[in-house]
Amino acid sequence: MEKMNDLKDLLRHEILDLYSAEEQIIEALPLMIEKAQNKDLKGALNNHLKITEEQKKRLDKVTQLVTDEKKPEQEDEKKGFFSRLFSGTEGKQKCRGMEGLIDEGKKIMSEDISPEALDAAIIGCAQKIEHYEISGYGTAKAYAKELQLKDVEKLLDETLAEEYAADKRLTELAVGRLNMQAEQVNVRNEEQNEPMNESSPKEETRPNRKQEPGRNTTAKRSEPAMKKK
């Protein structure tokens, strides 16, 4: 990896990282969609897959924008920065952060898990991915703004807004329904595992109600002793 000296190098790194992240998400989302049981969750993930494909195309536009030459006198300067920005062997760098989040999601989806808990887990995994993207796009946008790359900043901000919207939708699904359904499975399991003698009146016993030794509760009251003459 080449040495990063300034903000331009950091922008380069962030955009390449995001590009790799989007590629990995596009590859991983179909499995999450397949595993999801709730139709609304399936719909949300399907919709985000389409959006992610557009976000990847938007990153292609970013690379195109920064290599456009609008002013001849800036040609050498742009080639010095932007030809280095998206070329070379590092153009294929892999986002290790996204790789880890996706591996974590695959692991939990392979566990022995109820459908309700699986949906809640998928939402958690998807939101971790969203939060990573929100952080990455927010950082790249800040770099572009500082470098006065207004068109790049605008494109990154568009994607950032989509990531916030996707995260909000997942939160609504989790809090409004799916987390509750996963909890209800736990309640049902607890009820099914209750001991039978607690609910069977025939076997019910009352502590401290048994006949005590030396005490005859059915005997007649003894007659008073006769006075001696």
Q: What is the CATH number of the domain that holds 154?
A: 1.20.1260.10
What integer best gives the mean pLDDT of the chain? 79
pLDDT in tens, 17-63: 999 999 999 999 999 999 999 999 999 999 999 999 999 999 999 87
> Is residue 227 one of the residues assigned to a domain?
no
Ramachandran angles phi, psi of 191, nearest 5°: -65, -40
DSSP code at position 72:
G
Specify the pLDDT at position 219: 47
The pLDDT of residue 8 is above 90: no
Number of domains into which the chain is organized: 1
Residue 14 lies in a domain: yes
For the chain, helix, strand, coil in percent to 5 are 75, 0, 25
Burial of 138 (0-12, 13-18, 19+ CB in 10 A): middle
- Cα separation, 90 vs 56, whole angstroms: 18
Domain that holds residue 122: 7-192
**Does any domain span residue 213?**
no
pLDDT at 12 over 50: yes
Residue type, 162: E
| Mean pLDDT on 65-89 | 49
pLDDT at 193: 59
Q: Is 217 among the domain residues?
A: no
Residue 80 belongs to a domain: yes
Flag whether 109 is in a domain.
Answer: yes
Reported confidence tier of residue 218, pLDDT bands at 50, 70, 90: very low
Q: Is residue 35 part of a domain?
A: yes
Task: Give the model's confidence band at 5: pLDDT under 50 very low, under 70 low, under 90 confident, else very high.
Answer: confident
**Domain assignment present for 226:** no
Would the pLDDT of 181 be above 60? yes
Q: What is d(CA 38, CA 108) in angstroms, rounded to the nearest whole number?
A: 17
